[in-house]
Structure 1
Amino acid sequence: MSATLETSGITNDKYYNMKQFINTVRDYVQTKAEDSVNLLYRHLQLISNNTDLSIFDPHTNVVAEFFVCLHELLSTIEPGSLLEWCCINVLKTACKNSAARMALIHTYQFLPLLSKILDDRLNTEKKLRLLILMQDLTGGIKISWLTPNLPHLMSILTKWVECGEEEIVALSLAILGNLCYKNRPAIETLSRCIDIKKFLRVCMGLKGFKTDIHVCKLFIILDYFHGNAPKEVFLKLIELTFESSIVAFKTRDSMLLRHVIEVFTDVWDQNNHVQVFQNFKNYDNKIDLMVSELESILHGGGGDMRSDNNNECANLVIKFLNFVLKLRQPNLPALDSRLVNIALNWIQVDSVCSEALTLLREVAVNSAAESSSVLDPFLNCLPIFLRSIRNGDDEISTCIENNKKINSLIELLRVLVQAEYIRKRVLAMVKEELFTKIFTPLIGTSSSGTTNLNTCSTGATLLYVNCLALIYDLSKYDDCWIRFFTHLMLHKQIHMILAQALYNGSKETKALTLTISSGPYFPIAEVSTAMCELQALTQIDSPVQENNNRPKDDNLYPMMSVTQTEKLDEMLGQIKVAFEQNNLVGVSTSNIMELYEYRLATMGHAERAALASLEAVSSRCTYLQHRTAQLTTELSRLYQILLHTEQRYEDALKTKEAVLLNNKQLNEWMEVEKSKYSSDLSLKEKTINEKTQLLEEYAKQLTRLNEEKRTLEDNNNELKHVVAKLEDNLVKKEKLLERKEETLAKSNSNIHTLKMQVSELETQIKRTDSELVAKTRELTEVSNELHNCKSILGSITQLTNSQFIKRT
């Protein structure tokens, strides 16, 4: 892992503050600079005030590194500093995420560090803050050996139980119960610290619903340590659980409610006293009261329904109802319809949705065919709910809470499919797009975001196996699902999920996988190969050989000096001789006492050395657990990248095969087309040769025509000069003609006048005949000249038209 996490990317990354904190812790450990302390304050406050609890999901390498750095910081800072309490605030926020809380308990080992902070000198507020955190971090804790911090922690807690305030007493008892539950070293440590009988008498005198449940749990633990606990204790536990949970729910004390329910479910899972639960008399009344309290929130009682505290309390109560309804069905009228109404209202809240869907599943399992109408409100809303999942983000988030919600929905759908009276409605609502959306992080082609996704965790594995089981169930009633199921079974990621489910899944997950494997489309060979690959990742090839040359136990610690050893050997020799001579009376008592003192000194020295060694081993064990967590998250990330890479590689191989097949077909087609175009080419070449010859002939004709063109152009130019001259002449002639026409008009007018005067001038005719003949002759000449001009004009016009036609 790199020395400095990359933080130069987008600053709105939800892990940004964690990455900055990790880098700052590394600087602080090396330099102890004041600037680093200020930055640590800032980052810790931002992280503790973050409302997105999914940032603490422990499957990412960033979160694993963050918890390791937080542990390192808490172990190096000065006791009582403000930075120490900032770390405690972050741990308190992280405990709200159940998966992170389990990792903090079992992997990161913060309890020894917190035990050192626990002291009588703390004020009440800090005691409560620390005890509440320690109560969270001890639920389900496993103690395999006597850790160095355990005696101090037990002493402080028992002292506060005997003389503390009510809240401190309740929290101290809760922590003692968590430490002692199924942990023999813790019980033995407690028995050495105090007189257990006297302590139990003190506990029996404590009153209050906050302490009763923890006292009862402590009695059960100690009774089991000395034998079997009586059934009356379990009846008392049942009664206290119902009473305390109802009171805690009314007061919206989510912390107390969670621990009360956890105590009951944990104890009951381990002991399974079903008959005792059946003998509980007020069961129906308690269930009715719990359901009524949930309904009161829906009707506006208890504050804002959407507040975080209400959400958490409702989630815990619904979870408790789901647990007890599996153990025993109450005899209450219309209970199913009330539960359906409650579940439908809480489905809208993300933090409660998973348990609400589980509640609907319990109703569906227990409801008969004739009472199927109670599920109609949910079935009416189911298409909208499924559509919201399909049309949500581009890729379904793989955070733990979202996995739980989707998994609860799939389990509910599996139950509904099994019910014949509503099967057709469910088959019509469920579409392939829903499963495509769910499987996208696993088999999707996009590799974006694979760094922080964990599709191989226990929750994700259960989700995918449940989805496959639902598809397998759907394929029994609709053949279209067979194709989708077989398509999914072709992916190697699916093979790895099934192999992981069979290899290290829970009992429920293995049962589901075996159910799927009974079908005809299960890839047995591929899943077997995947299991072998998983086995290779976890199997140790060569066991570590035992070192036969290790020192004996007596040589582990230097017990005495050489002089003391010689003196002890001399004394033992004297005692041995006296014993052989049966003369022990001669051995002085002082020598025996001195030998006894040597033995005590040796044992004390060995004990101190063993404690020092135990502290070193505990520190080393914690370090190895941290390192294992880091390597596990890194391995998960690399494994996820490997799966996506293999998927892309398989897709590339398929694409390559398709391209090669396409190339082969193209080559065959190209050969056919090549032969075809070869024959066409020979014909075209022959045609080209013929056309080339024609082209040469046309080129010669073109040359000849160009010469004729030049000749005609020369003639045309000459004719243009002639036409220009003729046009000039024409203009002149036209002007002359106009004059002649004017003269003719005048003459005509004169003739008219003369005709009018002819009668009068008859006498003068003779006299003027000669003059008239002359005029007539002149007129004839003019007419002839006019006729000639018209003829010339017509010739010119014809010549011009013929030249124009040749040009065009």
Structure 2
Amino acid sequence: MATLRNHTSAGNGSNNNHGQDSPQAPQDAGATLAIGYVREFRARAAAFQVQRSEESLVYVQRSVALLGTKVQPLHFAPSPGNLELARFYVDLHALMGALENEGAEDDVLWGCVALVQHCSRNLEARLAIVEKYCFVPLLGVLIRRTLKPERMHRLLVLLQDLTYGIHIAWEEPYLAGLLEHLVEIVHGSGDDSCTTTGGSTALSVLVNLCYKNFAVLFLFLRSVNISAFCRRIQNYGLLAYKMLIILSEDVYAFELRELYTFLRTAFAGIEDCLKHWNVAQMRHIVDFLLDSQCHAGLHRAMLSHTHYCEDVEKLLDQIDARCGMDDSQEETRKHHQICLDLVFRLVSYILQLSEDGSLDAITTRLYEMVGDWLGSDLCGVAAIELLCTLLRLGKRAAVAQLIARDPSHVVSLVVSTERPETRPAQVLAVLRLLIALLQEPKTEKLVLSKISESYFDKILAAPLALVPQFLSTQSLAQAEVEKACFCLLLLVNVAGIAKKAYLDKCCTLLEQPQLQYCLARGMVSRSEPLVSAVLQIAQFEHFPKKAVAKHVAGFSGGPGGSGTSAAYSDQAEQWRNLSSILKSHRTFTDKEMAQRVNALLDSIGGIVRRNELASAPVSQVIELYNHRIDSLNGAVLSLQQRLEQAGQQLTNSTQLAHVQSTELERFQSTNFELLISQERLQTQCKDLKQQTDKLKSNMSNLLKQLSENSEHLQASERRLNVKKSEIAGLQKDCEELRTNLSAKSEELTKLEAHNKENISRIDKLKKSMVAYEQDMKEKLRTIEERERELTKTHKALEEQRDARKKSEDLVSVLETQLQERKDQIEHLEMEQKETEDLRKTIMSLMESKKPKRKA
């Protein structure tokens, strides 16, 4: 993806360019244009912060409008070392915090809100806006100052988009007011407006804020009347189910049919997200379903749900329908692949839940779709993992048969893992797929035929490059450790089948200290699949138990790559035990209890004001108690102000830290370039030194040759003097020869004159001969023409003779035919005459037989 680049890296090409300038040129032009607009905005914003004049405000508004219309969202995605973009987000945040929500500044402020919404259409930019530059607290404060419904709706939609998957680790100052305002919006929507955008969008923001954010959830439970809130959101469909599931079963107990309805609604929501490739909302729904084990009721419903085949088939239909549309833009293609990644993860989880083969009917269709995306950068890992799950839990024979029938996908994956630019996660997924295929009889030979000893060497190149003596001081990424362990597991499985070919290779690699170190790190990691893989390798008879145990004992703690998984598992455990956490939280009081306490205090205060207390000491205690409450309220207010100041300082520090980290990345890249230049110059210096040494040796050789040439020169001079004396004698001979030459020249002149006369006579004779020859040629041509005419005449005469002979033959034939005709005519006339006589005879007979008339 093309992003904003600083001036030091604006000319770099894309890895997907393949030497062609046409696809990259528009991106570079757009990035350059975006840099110009960003710099203009920063200059205008800085001028406005200093002057606070109407003219500077107009310039700021124009710059904001240009950024929102002329710059594509993909150019707002942060990239390493892009200092301009990091400072742009900081300046935009500062500008929005300085603008007032009234007058001329109000239009500029909402232009900035529209710009933030425009930037958030890019996934990387959205992540930076939320996590790095802290725009959510600013928008949370702004929404409480907004009164117009349409602007309120815009802010709610923007907060909904930004808070999908947000992580809030502590009770930030803006949260109390934002949660209270959102709850007011939900309660304030009428009974007939549950389907409108106001209440549903506010509830969606609440769901996003509370999901997996326990500090926010505790604050929400303290600041809302849970029973009334749960009753109010009953008609909000999927959002209501999400919120009630987040609030745990102690707050609201679901019936199983309600959870079934939630699952069908969730799949319908995923289908709707696929229509527009809505990544954020779809990720929120899928993560919710993947975390079903944290909610006992939801997990039971997912285990007993019977419509997975129908629901997943609808998702596949929607993917097929959407894939037929135009996804020519790079951003759209990226969203497309991320959505497919989420679908593949969800289908894998469903296969693991439903062991009764509920998706067997669409196994072939799933395989066909997965096969098209195995090599993708964004969803390839999930596609390969789904294929492994289909092999393990689906129709195993059917999937293995499909792969054996068309192994092209597996072959391309094996080839891709040998390339160094392939991501470690994708290599790891391919290795796990090969291990699964090796366990199938129909695909065992396929795997054995496509890998060799060199294949394992290429996969293990990174850990084998470490120096064995300094393993503890060298850094090796956790992804490389996982690759090494699963590669060794594949090699062990292959060696178990083809011992003669791979047993020695397997033993040799297991003896390498670098790989023993990787096995030890895999053993102490918090990844269950990785530990399981190492334990399977440990069953190999030549496994180096002592060496691996020594490395494991040398670790003081888990390696640095498992922090994320540990945090995730701790968070999941907290989410699963939410009910017990709430019960054990003794200082926890919800809003309903706080309202009861406040009502009691108000009642006692009214008794005090009416002087209805029976005893003065009690009234004094109550008065003292009221003073104590006032002092505590003042302390709470002071602490709240300090908390807000600390939150603002934390926001500024977070922004500054990310700006400085971006600047550090830029300096590191520059330093790396300088190191490369230094190495290049050192290499050139070495080459120049070698060239200098060669020149010195050449110079000494030349000096030796010079001394030898001077001796040769002196000898040549002596020979030259001898030659000069010989030349003097030769000059005398030359003079005599010259006199003879002059005499011969005169004689030659006479001969040349006589020769000229002869030449002229010869020329005349040649002309006469040419004329005779021309005349002879014309006469010969005439003779040849006459001969050709005579030949033609003879041919014509012969043809006429042949024609005359043919005519005579034809005349004789015609005369014969004429005679025959005459004979026929005579014969026919005789027959006619006989026929006429016969007719007359018949007529006379008929006349004689007629009766005679009476007189």
Normalising by structure 2, we get a TM-score of: 0.56
Question: Could you tell me which of 150, 157, 160 is aligned with 1:132?
Answer: 157
Is this contact kept in 2: 1:244–1:260, CA < 8 A?
Answer: no
Task: Kindly indicate whether the alpha-carbon contact (under 8 Å) linking 1:57 and 1:99 is maintained by their aligned counterparts in 2.
Answer: no
SS of the equivalent of 1:14 reads helix
Partner of 1:55: 77
Q: Quick check: 1:322 aligned with 2:322? A: no
How much does 1:630 deviate? 1.2
8 Å Cα contact 1:407/1:463 also seen in 2 = yes
Give 2:383's aligned residue: 356
| 1:26-75: CA deviation from partner (whole Å, max 9, x where unpaired) | 4224333312311211112334x53x378356874444333222322321
1:135 is matched by which residue type in structure 2? Answer: Q
Deviation (angstroms), 1:624: 0.1
Q: Could you tell me how far apart the structure 1 residues matched to 2:659 and 2:532 are? A: 31
Whole-angstrom distance in 2 between the partners of 1:612 and 1:684 = 98
Aligned equivalent of 1:373, options 395, 401, 415: 401
Q: How does 1:26-41 map to 2 (within 5 A)?
A: 26-31=43-48, 32-41=56-65
Aligned residues: 606
CA distance in 2, matches of 1:633, 1:625: 12
2:204 alignment partner in structure 1: 174
Match 2:34 to one of 17, 35, 42: 17
- Conservation of the 8 A alpha-carbon contact between 1:5 and 1:19: no
Counterpart CA distance in 1 for 2:8 and 2:149 is: 40
1:159 aligns with 2:159: no
The partner residue of 2:642 within 613, 638, 656 is 613
- 5 Å matches for 1:232-381? 239=260, 242-252=263-273, 254=278, 256-266=281-291, 268=293, 271=294, 277=299, 280-283=302-305, 285-297=306-318, 300=321, 304=325, 306=327, 308=332, 314-326=340-352, 329=355, 331=357, 332-333=359-360, 335-345=362-372, 355-363=382-390, 371-376=399-404, 379-381=407-409
**What is the distance in 2 between the residues matched to 1:369 and 1:6?**
57
Structure 2 contact 344–386 (Cα < 8 Å) conserved: yes
Q: Judge conservation of contact 2:45–2:60 (CA < 8 Å) in 1.
A: yes
Q: In structure 2, how many angstroms separate the alpha carbons of the residues matched to 1:726 and 1:667?
A: 68
Amino acid at match of 1:696: N
Deviation, 1:625, is 0.4
Contact 1:245 1:257 in 2 (8 A): no
Q: Distance in 1 between matches of 2:164 and 2:80?
A: 17
Q: How does 1:501-516 map to 2 (within 5 A)?
A: none
- Alignment check: 8 A CA contact 2:87 2:659 kept: yes
- Contact 2:270 2:282 (C-alpha < 8 Å) held by counterparts: yes
Percent identity between the aligned chains?
Answer: 17
Cα shift at 1:385: 8.0
Deviation at 1:621, TM superposition (A): 0.7
In 2: Cα distance, 1:99 partner to 1:294 partner:
26
Q: Distance in 1 between the 2:754 and 2:145 partners?
A: 141
Q: What is the CA deviation profile of residues 57-101 of structure 1, one whole-angstrom value per residue up to 9, with x for unaligned ones? A: 687444433322232232123327344444444444554555544
Give the aligned partner of residue 208 of structure 1.
237
Q: Is the 8 A contact 2:367 2:399 kept in 1?
A: no
For the structure 1 residues 21 and 473, does the alpha-carbon distance in structure 2 shift closer, same or farther, using more than 3 Å as the test?
farther
Paired position in structure 1 for 2:431: 414
Question: What is the alpha-carbon distance in structure 2 between the residues aligned to residue 96 and residue 506 of structure 1?
Answer: 35
Taking structure 1 as reference, are residues 8 and 102 closer, same or farther at Cα in structure 2, changes over 3 Å only?
closer
Distance in 2 separating the partners of 1:350 and 1:682? 72
Q: Deviations over 1:520-542 (max 9, x none)?
A: xx9x99xx9xx9xx99xxxxxxx
Please list every run of 5 or more consecutive structure 1 residues that lacks an aligned counterpart in the other structure.
Answer: 224-228, 397-402, 440-457, 536-584, 735-808
CA deviation after TM superposition for structure 1 residue 716, in Å: 3.3
Say whether the 8 Å CA contact 1:58–1:64 is kept in structure 2. no
TM-score where L is the length of structure 1: 0.59
Looking at structure 1, the residues matched to 146 and 754 of structure 2 have their Cα atoms a distance apart, in angstroms, of 139
Alpha carbons of 1:272 and 1:281: their partners in 2 closer, same or farther (altered >3 Å)? closer
Q: Cα gap change, 1:35/1:428 in structure 2, threshold over 3 Å: closer, same or farther?
A: farther
Instruction: Indicate how the Cα distance of structure 1 residues 29 and 322 shifts in structure 2: closer, same or farther if over 3 A, else same.
Output: farther
- Cα deviation, residue 218, structure 1: 2.8
Taking the TM superposition and a 5 Å limit, the aligned residue runs for 1:95-106 are 95-106=120-131
Residue from 702, 712, 716 that aligns with 2:737: 712
Give yes or no for contact 2:78–2:86 (8 Å, CA) kept in 1: no
Would the alpha carbon gap of residues 305 and 277 (structure 1) be closer, same or farther in structure 2, given more than 3 Å must change?
Answer: farther
The code of the aligned residue for 1:42 comes to L
Q: Distance in 1 between matches of 2:706 and 2:447?
A: 69
**What amino acid maps onto 1:242 in structure 2?**
L
Contact 2:489 2:533 in 1 (8 A): no
Pick closer, same or farther for the CA change 1:342–1:59 going to 2, 3 Å. farther
- Tell me the C-alpha RMSD between the 2 structures: 5.9
In structure 2, relative to structure 1, the CA distance for the partners of 1:30 and 1:684 (3 Å cut) is closer
Q: 1:701 aligns with which of 720, 726, 739?
A: 726
Contact 2:130 2:162 in 1 (8 A): yes
